[in-house]
Chain A
Amino acid sequence: MKLNYNWLCEWVEIDMSPEDLASLLCNLGIEVEEVELISSDAIFNLDINPNRPDLLCIQGIAREVAVRTKKELKKTIDFSITEEKESYSQPELRITIESKDDCPRYVASVIGNLKVGPSPLFISERLEKCGIRSINNVVDITNYVLLEIGQPLHAFDYEKVGNEIIIRRAKNGETISTLEEEEKRLSDLDLIIANKSKPIAIAGIMGGELSGINESTNTIVLESAFFKPPLIRKTSRRLNLSTESSYRFERTADIGIQKTASLYAVHLLKKYASGKMINSIIDTNPNPPLSRKVPFSWKRASALIGTPINHKVVLEIFHRLGFQEKGNNDDLTIVTPSFRRDIQIEEDLVEEIARFIGYNNITTRFEYQTGTSVYFEGKEILQIKRLMASLGFYEALNIPFIESSWAKNHRDNPIELKNPMWSDKNLLRTTLLPGLISNIERNLNRGINQVSVFEIGRVFNKAKDEEEMIAATMAGNIPQIWYEEERSIDFYDMKGIVETLLKELHISDFDFSNCRDPFYKKERALALIINNQSAGCFGLLAFNPCKEDIYGFEFKLEQLFLASDKSIQLKKMYRFPPVKRDLSIVLNKETPYERIKDLIKSINNLDIQVNLIDVYKDSSIGKDKKSLTIRLELYHPEKTLTEEEIEKDIENIINRLSKVGAHLRK
């Protein structure tokens, strides 16, 4: 909201600069976003909290300033303006409210003899400083009253409306053409102002084109009402129509001010538009409930603030705010005025005390306590993140919205957003990989040789709602450096990461099997099986916007946590160094190394480590054949093995391997 400094000075004496006033307002919780200094005036751009509609006008801000600076308001709207009828040239106006609940108060007056034309300069200037375009004196006066005392008013052209006004719900399908010449379709959720035949305004939001004021208008019906806030809010949102008026109504108007606002507007219309009242003011609720009673205890208030409070100081603040106390001793009842509908409970009163004492004058307190035990949910995730970083991966955070094309290629049942930010990214991610693939693409395009990124985050699908995953991608070349040749990242880099991850997480009971996830190229990917369930896959990614190969993995975090062996039992250590022997064997190309390793390790009474040190394929050893060089490390718990014993073991191994067609290379 824009606030005009000079206008404010008309209401309350301000003996400080606009900048100091801005700081005073901020300390009261009225955020000043900007102070614009213009010739001999200043415009404040205020951000008013939704619970304080009373501050959406000059009068409201003036009240706060007056309380804070202990001054009296200089101006009050004159209640003594006579209501005398000046002419009866028109028939009476009839107001019908279908539901009092929708419209607890409706004040209408008929003003005739109007000369519609430009506003006096001071009105149009003030309006424009507050960001409202000047239209004509009649419309401007309604806006002027709104800006000054916060009550939205609406003027209808009496001749076009007729002598009956009905406040009712719209019929389903009923339409209205607004002042902005837009046709709006209404329903029975919308409150409207209508005449005998059709809607003439969307209540509290905008008038209809039909009953608008123009140069030929002579007589108006001036509306000053109180509409039920949620009703106005719903309609305003559904029609996507927000106005100065709806903004205030949906935050609650002051039910005590409708008649005053009317009288004030009439006074201005007489003065600046030669208007004459031709009817006594109609008020459907002349005695609205104005005050509210809120219980208050000194003891509870000072306990909530945390420091003792001075009763005299607090009572002075209350009185200046227009609050009256009833009762004595500890339990009081505070009676609050109609413009402070935000004060509903004791805590609201405590906030008023704290605001005017000053938040920064409250003593601060914190004491460390020993013996408090704390629990850290998510600690494991942090540890895995640190592990991934130590393995060379950068942690990424991606926006979890994906295109439908990604989900089409994925087995999961995606969850759709009702109001996506980007219409093409309307699904919640079912996998972390699309984000990580785009991270690879972005970094490779920027000339990074080797990109390794990971993310731990939630993925979403209809079956499980959300599930925490860990995923990583890597691509590019490990560049040449003086001690190493350049080479591209390949499957075994990714497998090494997966194996290290599993080892570091103490997961030993797992298997790798064929990968059936279409996200990966099945010839270069494996599935990780833990407890007969797939925890996810790793390998060469099938969907890839780059020319470089991208390798990746994605696992269910929960499954990794469950499989992680939490107990550590010390294993045997060897005092004697192992005997090392290299074996070069030739076998069928499609016999997996893992098979060979398992065969060797399955030999009883043999403590052995098996390491693959070379893989060789060449026509000299035969088509469909390969050669593996295996380094064996043989241990014995109590002694150094003799030559004889070693020979026996090796022979045993060779025999065992011959069963899968492997033999020593000549």
Chain B
Amino acid sequence: MKLDDLKKNAKEDINKATLIKELESVRIKYLGRKGSLTNILHSIGDFPKEDRPLIGQTANKLKREITNLLEEKKKYLEESRALEWEDLSLPGRKTSKGSLHPLTILSQEIIDIFMSMGFSVVRGPEIETEYYNFNALNTPEDHPARDLHDTFYLKDGRLLRTHTSPVQIRTLEKHSPPLRIISPGRCYRVDTFDPTHSPTFVQIEGLWVDYDVSMSDLFGTLELFTKKIFGEGIRTEFLPGYFPFTEPSAEVWIQCPFCDGKGCSVCHSGLIEILGAGMVHPNILKNLGYSEFTGFAFGLGVDRIAMIKYNINDIRLFYQNDIQFLNQFNEIKL
């Protein structure tokens, strides 16, 4: 009789349990060291001798039964807990996100390429003198080449640099060749502010001065660069150009990525200009006392390359700082 009650109670307790830890209490209540069924099994000697086998058998059977029920229920509870429905489509908790400016991202990509090619990065002032911006670069006053750079002048006669080439002169004054440097930075030219012009832009200029640097080195360096920035398959063309600070001078054109070189409204019969370059004019090296060296220099507009690379048709977007624009760029590229 007692065992029947015990069985009934145990079953009820197991049914009522909704948590795994409640099941554990049930197990302790009946099967623990001081559990009621354990007590019965321990006190089996108190029963009349003839009843003992039956009681023993029944109690042991009941122990197995409760153990099984507990196991089943535990399994059930575990399963039901895992299946409890949660709306996983709710948006995740986010930390706020910002980003680098696309011109910073692209500048860095370009800097990384040239650093891997042995170029160091140097910087210089944005307010410059006529001397560093023009005269030291073989562009004297009243030289028609000055028309190429419409310059912002300050009231004190100095100017905002129109290119980062002055940094090359400043570096060569301090360090003698051989050297390889690039100088990134903001430059200024008097210009309208429209989809294709801006009074400010980001430029990266490079300089390599050594014994016997040649046009082959110049073209090889820049061809490798265009491949790294636009992809292995890009076609690079070198055309003669003119800059007062280089001789011979060259322009670097690539196959237009918008029409794959077929010709479109953006390009020039399938080509698009991305760089100016040339062999450093010997006057410049001579003035610095480095006649025994040759070198090459190049300059690229980061804005222009960004427009080509990211398919941006309005240069003003870089300086209007719309978050809808800025949040489309990401530095991490895998």
* Residues A351 and B240 in contact, CB atoms below 8 Å apart: yes
* Residues A392 and B98 in contact, CB atoms below 8 Å apart: yes
Query: Using Cβ atoms and an 8 Å threshold, which residues of chain A touch B117?
Result: 366, 368
Q: A360–B103 Cα gap in the complex (Å)? A: 30
Tell me if B221 is interfacial: C-beta within 8 Å of chain A: yes
* Residues B125 and A466 in contact, CB atoms below 8 Å apart: yes
Would you mind naming 6 contact pairs between A and B with Cβ atoms under 8 Å apart? Answer: A51-B145, A233-B144, A306-B216, A351-B248, A399-B319, A417-B155
Tell me if A369 is interfacial: C-beta within 8 Å of chain B: yes
* Residues B320 and A442 in contact, CB atoms below 8 Å apart: yes
Contact of A398 with B321 at beta-carbon distance under 8 Å, contacts A368-B117, A376-B120, A419-B153 already known? yes
Query: Using Cβ atoms and an 8 Å threshold, which residues of chain B touch A51?
Result: 144-145, 242, 244
Q: A230–B241 Cα gap in the complex (Å)? A: 23
* Minimum CB distance partner of A420 in chain B: B152
Q: A382–B93 Cα gap in the complex (Å)? A: 28
Query: Using Cβ atoms and an 8 Å threshold, which residues of chain A touch B191?
Result: 421
Q: Mark B122-146, 1 if CB is under 8 A from A, else 0.
A: 1101110000000000000111110
Query: Using Cβ atoms and an 8 Å threshold, which residues of chain A touch B125?
Result: 465-466
Query: Using Cβ atoms and an 8 Å threshold, which residues of chain A touch B331?
Result: 386, 389
Query: Using Cβ atoms and an 8 Å threshold, which residues of chain B touch A379?
Result: 121
Q: A454–B322 Cα gap in the complex (Å)? A: 12
Q: A49–B141 Cα gap in the complex (Å)? A: 17
Closest Cβ of chain A: how far from B198's Cβ, in Å?
A: 8
Closest Cβ of chain B: how far from A654's Cβ, in Å?
A: 38
Q: A415–B91 Cα gap in the complex (Å)? A: 50
Q: A415–B326 Cα gap in the complex (Å)? A: 30
Q: Which of B115, B186, B219 contacts A376 (CB 8 A)?
A: B115
Tell me if A374 is interfacial: C-beta within 8 Å of chain B: yes
| Chain B binder among A23-31, A109-117, A155-163, A198-206 | A23-31
Closest Cβ of chain B: how far from A387's Cβ, in Å?
A: 10
Q: Mark B71-91, 1 if CB is under 8 A from A, else 0.
A: 000000000000000000011
Tell me if B308 is interfacial: C-beta within 8 Å of chain A: no
Query: Using Cβ atoms and an 8 Å threshold, which residues of chain B touch A306?
Result: 214-217
* Residues B96 and A400 in contact, CB atoms below 8 Å apart: no
Q: Footprint of A on B, CB under 8 Å?
A: 90-91, 93, 95-101, 103-104, 108, 111, 115-123, 125-127, 141-145, 147-148, 152-156, 160, 180, 184, 186, 190-191, 193, 198-200, 202, 212, 214-217, 219-221, 223-224, 237-242, 244, 247-251, 268-269, 279, 281-282, 294, 318-324, 326-327, 331
Q: A351–B123 Cα gap in the complex (Å)? A: 31
Contact of A303 with B212 at beta-carbon distance under 8 Å, contacts A443-B323, A448-B323 already known? yes
Tell me if A257 is interfacial: C-beta within 8 Å of chain B: no
Q: Mark A348-373, 1 if CB is under 8 A from B, else 0.
A: 10110011000110111110110010
Q: A419–B152 Cα gap in the complex (Å)? A: 6
Closest Cβ of chain B: how far from A547's Cβ, in Å?
A: 19
Q: A446–B145 Cα gap in the complex (Å)? A: 43
Query: Using Cβ atoms and an 8 Å threshold, which residues of chain A touch B127?
Result: 415, 460, 465-466
**In chain A between 383 and 399, which residues have their CB closer than 8 angstroms to a CB of chain B?**
385-386, 388-399
Query: Using Cβ atoms and an 8 Å threshold, which residues of chain B touch A446?
Result: 322, 324
* Residues A395 and B99 in contact, CB atoms below 8 Å apart: yes
Contact of A399 with B324 at beta-carbon distance under 8 Å, contacts A394-B99, A418-B154 already known? no
Provide the main secondary structure of the chain B interface.
mixed
* Residues A452 and B96 in contact, CB atoms below 8 Å apart: yes
Q: A396–B317 Cα gap in the complex (Å)? A: 11
Contact of A366 with B212 at beta-carbon distance under 8 Å, contacts A50-B242, A360-B238 already known? no
* Residues A354 and B147 in contact, CB atoms below 8 Å apart: no
* Minimum CB distance partner of A481 in chain B: B91
Tell me if A52 is interfacial: C-beta within 8 Å of chain B: yes
* Residues B216 and A365 in contact, CB atoms below 8 Å apart: yes
Q: A19–B269 Cα gap in the complex (Å)? A: 9
Closest Cβ of chain B: how far from A657's Cβ, in Å?
A: 35
Q: A290–B324 Cα gap in the complex (Å)? A: 63
Query: Using Cβ atoms and an 8 Å threshold, which residues of chain B touch A396?
Result: 101, 321, 326
Contact of A377 with B98 at beta-carbon distance under 8 Å, contacts A306-B215, A442-B321 already known? no
Closest Cβ of chain A: how far from B85's Cβ, in Å?
A: 17
* Residues B126 and A458 in contact, CB atoms below 8 Å apart: yes
Contact of A347 with B282 at beta-carbon distance under 8 Å, contacts A50-B148, A250-B144, A398-B319 already known? yes
Query: Using Cβ atoms and an 8 Å threshold, which residues of chain A touch B122?
Result: 375, 377
Query: Using Cβ atoms and an 8 Å threshold, which residues of chain A touch B190?
Result: 419, 421
* Residues B242 and A391 in contact, CB atoms below 8 Å apart: no
Query: Using Cβ atoms and an 8 Å threshold, which residues of chain B touch A458?
Result: 126, 186
* Minimum CB distance partner of B121 in chain A: A376
* Residues B142 and A230 in contact, CB atoms below 8 Å apart: yes
> 3 tightest A-B contacts by CB?
A306-B216, A29-B240, A306-B214
Tell me if A592 is interfacial: C-beta within 8 Å of chain B: no
* Residues B214 and A303 in contact, CB atoms below 8 Å apart: yes
Query: Using Cβ atoms and an 8 Å threshold, which residues of chain B touch A603?
Result: none
Query: Using Cβ atoms and an 8 Å threshold, which residues of chain B touch A49?
Result: 241-242
Query: Using Cβ atoms and an 8 Å threshold, which residues of chain A touch B155?
Result: 415-418
Q: A222–B154 Cα gap in the complex (Å)? A: 44
Q: A129–B102 Cα gap in the complex (Å)? A: 44
Q: A421–B192 Cα gap in the complex (Å)? A: 8
Tell me if A482 is interfacial: C-beta within 8 Å of chain B: yes
Closest Cβ of chain A: how far from B133's Cβ, in Å?
A: 15
